[in-house]
Structure 1
């Protein structure tokens, strides 16, 4: 099966596994795992932040970030397509007693003008606007990314209104590959960042919260409360660091394959796709005369897996374990589809 359901389905490479076995480990609950300690500081330095905290998942990282930025009753402004709003089981309300104000942006992206229109007046009966949550790249937006100018405008708006900025960078590596933005820029416009190693980079497990030292101290305690205090986590941190060192350069190839796939999709009248929206490794396309489920079954019979993203919409996500030979087989199936 050629699996294009997600970039989370990648498996550790043999060299990554060897790197994990060689990792020096300790007990991370005692902050005594040298591999994860070094990696946390390396990622913090890379992104221009003070400190980092390795966690099992992007959801935990996002929720820890929102927790340290807010108090119960605060409000987080977010695009209606955002991961925190759609795919984190209502955790913001459950864990931090905060609410999310969702706005309809463009492909999962917010603008400073749209955000400003949603900032609450400071009446005692209003929720308190506290955080602007951005996702880069956007999942439900089909891999769209923010430009430097867009992020700078949002940061300036946040400063004018005394708001925090949280950046959900689950696919920040894809955003950097396509935009050329250096990682420390994201630290300059964000108060907290979540980065992920288990998507396009191909690590088996792991994300990281980046923030200032006091926020990380608070987050360590809350991580423990949530059951996220791990022990010899250097094994996982070693895999994540290997992915950062060896797999970043492969992201450009994922983007090129996604574009080639979209171009082939556009030539088959059974499908519809907007080529201008194919920015990174995610392609959203529509089925014209069938349902997404019917089309998915036909592709499955041909040995190809996608995921439904709506009644007639399908998502294809490229990753480094789909090579050029796999791509040619996928393109052949698309061209012959009827």
Structure 2
């Protein structure tokens, strides 16, 4: 199986499993797990922030960042295709009473002008604009990489209006691999940011949320309330440390493989790339073939290649460390065969 459904499909490597088995552990909830503490310190340094907390998931990172820095009745500003808006179960609203204002974009990157227009003037009858979130890279808009000047322009709008600037950095290190811009430069001036360990880095679970020391104290309260506190989490944190040592360079390979897949799919009649491929995610359309995207994906799956049908004739493909260049070539061949048979 060539599994391009998502980079969440990665499995821990033999070296990572060995590191997990040998991890020195303690009680994370009491602050006594040395491996977890080391991962938090290292990630905070990587992002240029004061402190960090280890979370079971990136979804919890987003939710805790929102709950810690907003109050019920507030409104947050996000892209309309963002993970926060589409695939987190409306958790900010369900748990925190926080509403979401989505911005329509072509590729998941909104402008400073859009952010400015979305921030509400103070009014008794309106929600209070409280937080602006940037997703870098974008999950459902083709893995778009935010230009640094666009990131900073949106950050500056948030700061000028007294709002929290938050970065959903689930695939931030893919953006780093694509541009050479450091993670710390991308999140400079942001109040909170996080990276995922269970996507391109290949860990079985986990993410790390960063911010000021005072923020992390309050974030821990929400982590505990939400059932996220763990015991010997060093077994999981060891995977994160191993990934930071051994898998970061792989992200450049993943980006290159996505570009190779892009080039191969472009050569198939009836297949159209939806947006320029910038990282390890790409979107393509099969509308010109006159078949539903689900049918196309199902036919590819029968040939041992798994894509993700996302609706509106579009399909998403995501490269990762479990897919090598030979797997990319197999995916192109399967897509070509299916396009010929269905078209």
Per the shorter chain, which TM-score range?
Answer: over 0.9
C-alpha RMSD of the superposition: 1.1
Inter-partner Cα distance in structure 1 for 2:47 and 2:171: 14
Inter-partner Cα distance in structure 2 for 1:72 and 1:335: 51
1:332 matched residue in structure 2: 333
1:298 aligns with 2:299: yes
| Matching of residues 242-281 of structure 1 within 5 Å | 242-274=242-274, 277-281=276-280
Structure 1: where are the runs of 5+ without partners? none
1:41 matched residue in structure 2: 41
Deviation per CA, 1:6-57: give whole Å up to 9, x if none: 0001111111011011110001111110110111011111111111000110
1:322 aligns with 2:323: yes
Alignment size in residue pairs: 337
Segments of 4+ in structure 1 off by > 2 A? 334-337
TM normalised by structure 1 equals: 0.97
2:150 matched residue in structure 1: 150
Contact 1:48 1:186 in 2 (8 A): no
Contact 1:151 1:189 in 2 (8 A): no
Structure 2: where are the runs of 5+ without partners? none
SS state at 2:137 partner: coil
Offset of residue 334 of structure 1: 2.5
Contact 1:24 1:35 in 2 (8 A): yes
Inter-partner Cα distance in structure 2 for 1:179 and 1:68: 31
Inter-partner Cα distance in structure 2 for 1:233 and 1:247: 20
* Change beyond 3 A, Cα 1:311–1:118: closer
SS state at 2:43 partner: helix
Offset of residue 283 of structure 1: 1.2
TM normalised by structure 2 equals: 0.96
1:307 matched residue in structure 2: 308
SS state at 1:65 partner: helix
Offset of residue 331 of structure 1: 2.1
2:103 matched residue in structure 1: 103
SS state at 2:320 partner: coil
Deviation per CA, 1:211-270: give whole Å up to 9, x if none: 111111111111111111111000100001111111110111111111111111111113
Contact 2:261 2:329 in 1 (8 A): no
